[in-house]
Structure 1
Amino acid sequence: MKQNKKIIALTGSISTGKSTVANLIRNKGYEVIDLDKIGHDLLNDKEIIREIESAFNTSFSKKGEFKRSLLSKYVFKSKDRLNILNSITHKRIFEKLNYLINKSQEKIIFVDMPLLIELIDTLDQYEFSYDEIWLVYSSPDTQIKRLMKRDKIKEEEALIKIKSQLSIDEKKKYADKIINNESDLQNLENQVEEFLKNLNK
């Protein structure tokens, strides 16, 4: 708990519907801090770009403009490269997150954090703590179907993307609340409303 604030970490896996739930919570008037957006904004910083390019001794710019897609392709091929990138960016991302939490006037703050469970053992070093984990769940079969439709890809490619993350069933073990996204939007909204109602009791 930070300064009597309740911090709820919202997480999920690819194609489970976490972004949809984050938007539903935001539309109910709650503050939702998006960790991906912080990371995205970080790559507008020329000093950080220089540090990344220096670490890999590689330019990710085209016609003088930094290209995130080139960096993504480069690090996606190697876990070691990804670890190097994370060592540069994670500290700064969490510094910004903690700053936003501390300056907020809200008593309940949601943090939209896709890789929460993957990073759970390292969070202490970034001085980030939370009170609850809310997990947006869809079965692996549903994930595959949604991902194939969303990205217009074949099943094999969808499986590779899903298997590159910790399985959603493994993540369930860490959750305080599970929002089941196997049905329609109305059902999803009803669950979110129920959890929010209990949160304010």
Structure 2
Amino acid sequence: MSKVYGLTGGIAAGKSTVLDLFRQDGCVVYDADQVAREIVKRGTVGLKQIVNEFGEDVLLSDGELNRTKLGSIVFGNKKQLEKLTNITAPLIRKQILHTIKQARESNDKEIVIFEIQLLFEANYQIYFDGIISIYVPEEIQLERLMERDRISEEDAMNKINAQMPIEQKRDLADFVIDNSGNINILKTEIYNLTKKL
């Protein structure tokens, strides 16, 4: 039976890098963003529901979802975003829980890491053997986000403030990875943590 851990952290905390390093250390990794993309692929129930709600305009000529078009409809419009979330959130949750169940029931004694940005916010912590949170001080988070997204300090702070505070995620976690140093420090930290899991 595999052990399954949830991974979370604030925006620009380095989740993709951390997930890659866990993969390199032999862990099986999953990403909720990937699940979110899969549940709206052509031919899925999710995409059909989105088209029913928002119209054929949200489709590309090949029948796939036009993310740019859908984004322009929902972002900045709370009501429309809520409609989209009401379609996608249950489908994402169902797929994540199915994947966790499959991992637990497999005969492999693997360590499975599942990255979920809104892990605590969506109450996923109850499904895992433990929660790992990636932590960086807010000033580093701000700097990295401005650089990554090429946005102003004000826009970056708005994105950071839209989420649960990174300190709160750190305090709620069973394990904390400090990603404020360089990549070699991070590699060592993840290697040591993997040995403990």
Could you say which TM-score interval applies, normalised by the shorter chain?
A: 0.7 to 0.9
Q: Of 29, 44, 55, which aligns to 1:32?
A: 29
1:45 positional shift = 3.4
- Work out the CA distance in 2 between the residues paired with 1:70 and 1:193: 42
Task: Specify the alignment match of 1:180 in structure 2.
Answer: 178
- Work out the CA distance in 1 between the residues paired with 2:112 and 2:37: 20
Unmatched runs of 5 consecutive residues or more in structure 1: none
Over aligned residues, Cα RMSD in angstroms?
2.1
- Work out the CA distance in 2 between the residues paired with 1:115 and 1:73: 22
Equivalent position amino acid for 1:38 in 2: V
Equivalent position amino acid for 1:89 in 2: T
- Work out the CA distance in 2 between the residues paired with 1:119 and 1:98: 12
Unmatched runs of 5 consecutive residues or more in structure 2: none
- Work out the CA distance in 2 between the residues paired with 1:165 and 1:74: 21
Task: Specify the alignment match of 1:89 in structure 2.
Answer: 88
Number of residue pairs matched by the alignment: 191
Q: Does the 8 Å contact 2:74/2:81 carry over to 1? A: yes
- Work out the CA distance in 2 between the residues paired with 1:45 and 1:57: 15
Find out whether 1:115 has 2:124 as its counterpart. no
Q: Residues 147-179 of structure 1: CA distance to partner in whole angstroms, max 9, x if unpaired?
A: 111111221111111112111112122111110
- Work out the CA distance in 2 between the residues paired with 1:69 and 1:115: 22
- Work out the CA distance in 2 between the residues paired with 1:132 and 1:52: 34
Cα distance change, pair 149–111 in 1 and its aligned pair in 2 (3 A):
same
Q: Residues 16-58 of structure 1: CA distance to partner in whole angstroms, max 9, x if unpaired?
A: 0111111100111110111110111212134422311322457
Q: Secondary structure at the match of 1:45?
A: coil
TM-score (norm 2): 0.86
TM-score (norm 1): 0.85
State how 1:1-201 maps to structure 2 within 5 Å.
Answer: 4-46=1-43, 47-56=45-54, 59-63=57-61, 65=63, 66-104=65-103, 105=106, 106-107=108-109, 108-120=111-123, 123=124, 129-199=127-197
Equivalent position amino acid for 2:116 in 1: M
**Structure 1 residue ranges, 4+ long, deviating more than 4 angstroms after superposition:** 62-65
Give the % identical residues: 31
